[in-house]
């Protein structure tokens, strides 16, 4: 039998993930399923825990790490798991955004997600994105972004209002309010994007998203054609539009309607570089990781995950 390890962020969704873990723990104990659980104690801890688990008992057996938390905790686990050939990653949504579960067909209900993992089917080897910034390397599973969306992530990750609204299950309202606030304060910049050797200058850019799967920002269909099985990343550039039109575009992203706007450009590529005259904020899977310039690369078939999709694509 595979060894099962849980990495749990009880702080995800402003502490509401604790209730998710209690349900999971109870279910595992009733079913008599053997497991080991590790709890994150600080930001970045999940990377270390993943490496510790990976190095345990190197007897050639495949281990499953199940993340209970949000996309930020999963992001850390992925960064600890890259290159580990005998790890598979499962996910039980316990965060506020949970875009990974949307993109990879994992049920939002914790027990349904656990049952999917316990069934041991639907393993998929998927692509990830690699970001190189000077000597630092980071990986992402969902998406990375430059500009307006990173500014929203930064504000959301520190927002006291979001913390309060999360406790009332109104996390989405908090995001909406932050988007509106940033809409009136964010300053657009010119960005140079090179996709597989072809460089283009885009003027007055709101944001650039590089996506490995369809969803971002808590359910927005930013990259409707993205797939984590095609060896490519989808690049979305939103530029040269007024604040009011951006609001309209943002709303239309929920159903993928933004694809029809001439100010929204979409490409696919393997090697992407993003440059600006002044540093612009960058996020990866919703976590702020630094600022431009950045190089991004699609890394084919890099990670084994448990998905809810029979075809295993994102
Ligand atoms: N014990 C801890 N105390 C404080 N922060 C923690 C702890 N454990 C993990 N973290 C950090 O909490 C942050 C948020 O976690 P996560 O993204 O999983 O939840 P979320 O923000 O509620 O969900 P989502 O990203 O899906 O919106 C991550 O940056 C992670 O590093």
Total residue length of the chain: 314
Confidence of residue 310 (pLDDT cuts 50, 70, 90): low
- Percent of the chain at pLDDT exceeding 70: 96
Distance (angstroms) between ligand 1 centre and the Cα of 287 equals 9
pLDDT of residue 81: 96
8 A C-beta contact, residue 139 and residue 133 = no
List, for residues 203-230, the tens digit of each pLDDT value: 999 999 999 999 988 888 999 999 999 9
DSSP 220: B
Q: Taking the domains of the chain in order of start, what are their residue ranges? A: 3-121, 132-299
184 lines ligand 1 (CB under 6 A): no
Class of domain 3-121: alpha beta
CB atoms closer than 10 angstroms to residue 309: 13
Our mutation pick for probing the ligand 1 site, out of 11, 17, 38, 97, counting the most ligand atoms within 8 A of Cβ, is 11
289 lines ligand 1 (CB under 6 A): no
> Average pLDDT of the chain?
92
Roughly what angle, to the nearest 10 degrees, separates helices 148-158 and 171-185? Answer: 130
pLDDT of residue 265: 97
Q: Percent helix, strand, coil in the chain (nearest 5)?
A: 35, 35, 30
Confidence of residue 312 (pLDDT cuts 50, 70, 90): very low
CB atoms closer than 10 angstroms to residue 80: 23
The CA distance from 166 to 29, in Å, is: 29
pLDDT of residue 99: 93
Query: At which residue do the structure tokens 């998203």 appear?
Result: 209
Q: Please tell me which residue, 239 or 1, carries the higher pLDDT value.
A: 239
pLDDT of residue 288: 95
154 Cβ contact partners less than 8 Å away, ≥ 6 residues apart: 281, 283, 288
Residue 222 Cα distances to 57, 65, 277, angstroms? 41, 28, 26
Distance (angstroms) between ligand 1 centre and the Cα of 9 equals 6
Our mutation pick for probing the ligand 1 site, out of 9, 110, 170, 174, counting the most ligand atoms within 8 A of Cβ, is 9
Distance (angstroms) between ligand 1 centre and the Cα of 264 equals 31
Task: Provide the H-helix boundaries in 56-188.
Answer: 71-81, 99-103, 110-119, 148-158, 160-167, 171-185
CA nearest to 7, candidates 57, 56, 42, 50: 50
| Topology agreement, domain 3-121 and domain 132-299 | no
List, for residues 62-81, the tens digit of each pLDDT value: 799 999 999 999 999 999 99
Class of domain 132-299: mainly beta
Query: At which residue do the structure tokens 């801890």 appear?
Result: 45
8 A C-beta contact, residue 216 and residue 210 = no
Distance (angstroms) between ligand 1 centre and the Cα of 68 equals 10
Distance (angstroms) between ligand 1 centre and the Cα of 72 equals 5
Our mutation pick for probing the ligand 1 site, out of 21, 68, 72, counting the most ligand atoms within 8 A of Cβ, is 72
């Amino acid at each position: 039998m595979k060894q099962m390890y849980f990495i749990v962020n009880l702080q995800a969704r402003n502490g509401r993930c604790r209730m998710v873990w209690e349900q999971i723990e109870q279910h595992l104990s009733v079913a008599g399923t053997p497991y080991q659980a590790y709890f994150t104690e600080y930001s970045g801890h999940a990377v270390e825990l993943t490496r510790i688990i990976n190095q345990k008992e190197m007897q050639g057996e495949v281990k499953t790490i199940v993340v209970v938390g949000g996309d930020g905790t999963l992001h850390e686990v992925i960064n600890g798991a890259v290159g580990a050939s005998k790890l598979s990653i499962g996910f039980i949504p316990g965060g506020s955004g949970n875009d990974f579960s949307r993109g990879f067909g994992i049920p939002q209900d914790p027990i349904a997600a656990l049952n999917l993992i316990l069934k041991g089917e639907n393993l998929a080897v998927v692509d990830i994105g690699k970001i190189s910034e000077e000597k630092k390397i980071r990986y992402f599973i969902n998406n990375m972004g430059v500009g307006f969306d990173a500014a929203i992530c930064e504000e959301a990750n520190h927002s006291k209002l979001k913390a309060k609204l999360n406790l009332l299950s109104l996390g989405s309202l908090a995001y909406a309010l932050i988007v509106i606030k940033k809409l009136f304060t964010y300053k657009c910049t010119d960005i140079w994007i090179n996709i597989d050797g072809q460089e283009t200058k885009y003027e007055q850019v709101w944001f650039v998203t590089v996506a490995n799967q369809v969803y971002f920002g808590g359910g927005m269909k930013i990259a409707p054609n993205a797939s984590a099985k095609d060896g490519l990343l989808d690049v979305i550039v939103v530029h040269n539009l007024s604040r009011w039109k951006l609001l309209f575009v943002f709303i239309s992203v929920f159903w993928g309607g933004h694809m029809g706007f001439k100010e929204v450009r979409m490409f696919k590529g393997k090697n992407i570089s993003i440059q600006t005259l002044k540093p612009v904020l960058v996020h990866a899977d919703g976590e702020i990781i630094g600022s431009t310039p950045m190089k991004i690369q699609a890394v084919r078939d890099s990670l084994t995950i448990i998905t809810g999709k029979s075809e295993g694509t994102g």
